[in-house]
């Protein structure tokens, strides 16, 4: 910009100084104005490249000028006209750029103006460059980017609004138009509610809308509205980004339908597996009724209990909201009830107490736990309370801080034989327990055989396998 095209403001209370400065500036060909500071808005200060103001006026309007200089995206040279030279440093510290003592020579004034007008030219060039970059960024976006006032009128908009326009309402430029030009009445009503929410609460709001189209489908739009805030001033506008998410919604719908279909198939698989196991249990039970050998009948009963423990896992999975996990504590309670019903003749006055914390596990953990508990509880029923009328079996399930689960089965029965070695035991049930703990659960097993038997199992909590997510 040519130096003579800049506007220069003079705000002085001394009329003689006003005349002197004005004559000098007009002689140089500058545009000079003597504005009333009380009537100028914040943005109107940006029209001036240099402002001469004396100490009296600066005491009243100086803070406003300095705030405008900081907030507006242009350079404004603020020159304080001094009456007292010793005040110069204080005005510079408050935000003024230079000081001037009256009377001033033409040469001195010319030198000052040349410096500040060059700075303004550089500021204007930088502003134009930033605006060009911003315009390019906004224009190249596939989203609709805009500014709105509180009345819902567009203050600025890129040309991507065409993807949201109502049919028969072609709008070449949205600047100055209201949101009714784009959205149907119901969608517009919701948009205005969200717009008012941003203005009132000064918060960012994101919401989605489904707008019916002529082809029977819906156009899904995601809006993000955010307050445009300037420190020290009330909210003036709301920025917005509107994005067409129709394809995303369609893909999401297909994935949801596919997921529901797989969920139904998986539930059916669990249900049929449970039913098949129940058929096997029924066949074993019917066959055991014709067996007179008590030892052989016990073998059949133990087989039934093992299959029942596995069947119960599939039943729990079928009933669970999460098809990949079940509540281990709930499973243990139901398994204990089944075993109590199976061994009710041998139980007499045996009491079972539980201390179970809620822990969710996968099928890979639940089935080995069920088989282990089946063996340990069955052994207690059969061997721990020989020749005794009463006893207690305690089952404890607790999580540990190390990310592991601790499962303990304790009875106050006769205990374990001296020098008992679980690994060297020739009992199939105990060998099964050891194999399940070490191979299936990747855990550790410890035991104590004095004053009853205690088996403590510690194993890590397994995460849901990727197979369940496919």
CA 416, 418, 421, 427 dihedral sign is negative
State if pTM tops 0.75. no
How do residues 182-207 score in pLDDT, each as one tens digit?
888 888 899 999 999 999 999 999 99
**Which pLDDT belongs to residue 148?**
92
How do residues 442-469 score in pLDDT, each as one tens digit?
999 888 887 888 999 999 987 654 443 3
Confidence class for position 388, pLDDT limits 50, 70, 90? low
Residues 322 and 429 both lie in one domain: yes
Does 275 or 443 have the greater pLDDT score? 443
Residues 68 and 165 both lie in one domain: no
Q: Which of 84, 112, 139 is the last residue of a domain?
A: 139
Residues 94 and 181 both lie in one domain: no
Distance, in Å, from the CA atom of 319 to the CA atom of 311, rounded to the nearest integer, reads 13
How does the average pLDDT of the chain come out, rounded? 82
Residue range 360-366: mean pLDDT, rounded: 84
Count structural domains, the chain: 3
**Which pLDDT belongs to residue 467?**
42
Task: Tell me which long-range contacts 23-26 makes (C-beta under 8 A, separation of at least 24).
Answer: 24/104, 24/106, 24/109, 25/109, 25/113
Residues 183 and 97 both lie in one domain: no
Q: Which ranges of 54-105 does DSSP label H, i.e. alpha helix? A: 55-71, 88-94
Residues 96 and 147 both lie in one domain: no
Residue range 305-330: mean pLDDT, rounded: 75
Distance, in Å, from the CA atom of 205 to the CA atom of 191, rounded to the nearest integer, reads 11
350's enclosing H/E stretch is strand 349-356
**Which pLDDT belongs to residue 126?**
84
CATH code (residue 394): 3.30.565.10
**Which pLDDT belongs to residue 465?**
44
Distance, in Å, from the CA atom of 73 to the CA atom of 55, rounded to the nearest integer, reads 26
Residue 213 has pLDDT above 90, yes or no: no
Residue among 427, 301, 309, 444 at smallest CA distance from 368: 309
Residue 90 has pLDDT above 60, yes or no: yes
Residues 191 and 310 both lie in one domain: no
Residues 440 and 330 both lie in one domain: yes
Does 234 sit behind a cis peptide bond, omega within 30 degrees of 0 on the bond before it?
A: no
**Which pLDDT belongs to residue 34?**
94
Residues 186 and 201 both lie in one domain: yes
Residues 41 and 80 both lie in one domain: yes
Residues 89 and 172 both lie in one domain: no
Does 338 or 194 have the greater pLDDT score? 194
Residue 407 has pLDDT above 90, yes or no: yes
How do residues 119-171 score in pLDDT, each as one tens digit?
888 888 888 887 777 777 777 778 888 999 999 999 888 877 766 655 444 55
Phi-psi region of 442 (alpha: psi -120 to 50; beta: other; left: phi over 0): left
User: How many Å is the Cα radius of gyration of the chain?
Assistant: 42
Q: Which of 219, 244, 269 is the last residue of a domain?
A: 244
Q: Which of 88, 119, 139 is the last residue of a domain?
A: 139
**Which pLDDT belongs to residue 194?**
94
**Above pLDDT 90, what percent of the chain?**
20
Confidence class for position 349, pLDDT limits 50, 70, 90? confident
CATH code (residue 161): 3.30.450.20
**Which pLDDT belongs to residue 423?**
64
CATH code (residue 25): 3.40.50.2300
**Which pLDDT belongs to residue 104?**
84
Residues 330 and 430 both lie in one domain: yes
Tell me which DSSP letter residue 150 carries: T
Residues 302 and 191 both lie in one domain: no
Provide the residue range defining the domain that includes 448: 251-469
């Amino acid at each position: 910009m040519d130096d003579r095209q800049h506007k220069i403001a003079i705000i002085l209370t001394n009329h003689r100084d006003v005349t002197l400065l004005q004559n000098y500036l007009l002689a140089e060909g500058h545009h000079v104005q003597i504005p009333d500071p009380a009537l100028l808005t914040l943005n109107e200060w940006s029209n001036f490249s240099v402002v001469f103001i004396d100490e009296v006026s600066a005491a009243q309007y100086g803070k406003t000028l300095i705030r405008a200089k900081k907030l507006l995206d242009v350079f404004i040279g603020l020159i304080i006209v001094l009456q007292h030279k010793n005040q110069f440093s204080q005005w510079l510290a408050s935000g003024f750029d230079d000081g001037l003592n009256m009377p001033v020579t033409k040469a001195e004034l010319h030198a000052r103006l040349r410096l500040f007008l060059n700075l303004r030219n550089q500021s204007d060039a930088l502003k134009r460059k930033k605006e060009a970059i911003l315009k390019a960024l906004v224009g190249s976006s596939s989203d609709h980017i805009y500014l709105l006032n509180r009345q819902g009128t567009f203050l600025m908009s890129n040309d991507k609004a065409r993807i949201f326009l109502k049919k028969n309402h072609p709008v070449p430029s949205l600047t100055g138009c209201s949101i009714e030009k784009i959205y149907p009445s119901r969608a517009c009503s919701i948009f205005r509610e969200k717009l008012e929410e941003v203005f009132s609460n000064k918060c960012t709001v994101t919401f989605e809308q489904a707008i019916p189209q002529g082809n029977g489908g819906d156009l899904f739009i995601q809006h993000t509205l955010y307050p445009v805030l300037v420190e020290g001033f009330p909210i003036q506008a709301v920025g917005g980004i509107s994005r067409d998410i129709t394809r995303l919604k369609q893909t999401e719908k297909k994935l949801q339908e596919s997921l529901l279909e797989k969920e139904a198939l998986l539930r059916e698989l669990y249900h049929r597996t449970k039913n098949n196991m129940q058929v096997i249990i029924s066949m074993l039970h019917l066959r055991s009724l014709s067996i007179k050998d008590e030892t052989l009948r016990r073998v059949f009963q133990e087989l039934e209990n093992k299959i029942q423990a596995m069947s119960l896992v599939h039943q729990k999975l079928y009933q669970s909201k999460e098809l990949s996990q079940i509540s281990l504590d709930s499973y243990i309670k139901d398994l204990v009830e089944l075993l109590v019903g199976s061994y009710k003749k041998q139980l007499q006055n045996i009491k079972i107490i539980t201390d179970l914390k809620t822990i969710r596990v996968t099928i890979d953990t639940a089935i080995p736990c069920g088989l282990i508990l089946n063996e340990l509880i069955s052994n207690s029923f059969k061997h721990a309370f020989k020749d005794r009328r009463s006893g207690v079996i305690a089952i404890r399930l607790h999580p540990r801080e190390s990310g592991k689960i601790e499962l303990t089965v304790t009875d106050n029965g006769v205990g374990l034989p001296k020098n008992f070695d679980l690994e060297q035991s020739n009992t199939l049930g105990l060998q099964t327990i050891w194999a399940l703990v070490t191979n299936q659960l990747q855990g550790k097993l410890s035991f104590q055989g004095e004053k009853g038997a205690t088996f403590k199992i510690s194993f890590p909590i397994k995460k849901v396998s990727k197979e369940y997510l496919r």
